[in-house]
Amino acid sequence: MANTTKKSPTWKVLGILFLLIGMPILWVMLNKTGVHYSKKLPIYFEREVDAKGDTIYHTVDDFKLVNQYGDSVTLDTYKDKILLVSFFFTSCETVCPKMNGYIGTHIYREFAKDTNIRFLSFTVDPANDSPAVLLKYAESFYANNHWQFLTGSKTQIYNLAANSFKIPGAEDVHNGLFHSNKIVLVDKQKRVRGVFDTNGQNEKSFTIDAVRALKLEYKK
């Protein structure tokens, strides 16, 4: 007598549920950990080997500036923080609004509450961008204390741009104001770990993934 017993559809149902529910959840979990980077982020710029054979990497120089709240800040203010750095000026009508809008809409929104990350935007027009002007500008992007807008000595700021963060083109500017659409990623040891072009169509996801990947380095 033929076996007419029907196979249970349970496994088929579970398989369909996994595809509909499980896969999206898995994708989100993987995306949140920055696994798009298959290897450790590079360390940028010149390096040398000391007498012990250890590699010494380029690091960002210290500074003393003032933020939008009128508080004096130094590099040590952001000790043990991952930094996302940009250079702008408030009266800029071309590159800067687009770049800061990009930062505020995408990257800052993603990490605004992360206590391990700070956003630093240095004005290249400190003669006009006082703390009060910067505060009003910051409020237009709904920035809290995690996104600080810095002003101070123009000489110091331009030196930081050209020699510390090594913003492309900054070293060629003397009397005028330079424009940059670059975001620089700096690790907790103050080494440059990424430079991102805010005009790129895929740079949003690349920048966010890079920050996530860098955060993972400190969890190991």
Please report whether residue 205 resides in a domain: yes
Structural domain total, the chain? 1
Please report whether residue 157 resides in a domain: yes
Distance CA 220, CA 210 (A): 16
Distance CA 164, CA 144 (A): 25
CATH number where 83 lies: 3.40.30.10
Interval 112-143: pLDDT, tens: 999 999 999 999 999 999 999 999 999 999 99
Q: Report residue 76 as tokens.
A: 């040590």
Residues 6+ apart with CB under 8 A from 119: 83, 84, 85, 86, 103, 107, 108, 111, 143, 146, 147, 148
Please report whether residue 63 resides in a domain: yes
DSSP for 43-98, please give it. Answer: --S-EEE-TTS-EEE--PPP-EEE-TTS-EEEGGGGTT-EEEEEEE-TT--SHHHH
Please report whether residue 14 resides in a domain: no
Interval 156-206: pLDDT, tens: 999 999 999 998 765 555 456 777 889 999 999 999 999 998 876 566 678
Residues 6+ apart with CB under 8 A from 213: 34, 36, 37, 40, 41
What residues make up the domain containing 170? 59-217
Instruction: State pTM to two decimals.
Output: 0.79
Please report whether residue 166 resides in a domain: yes
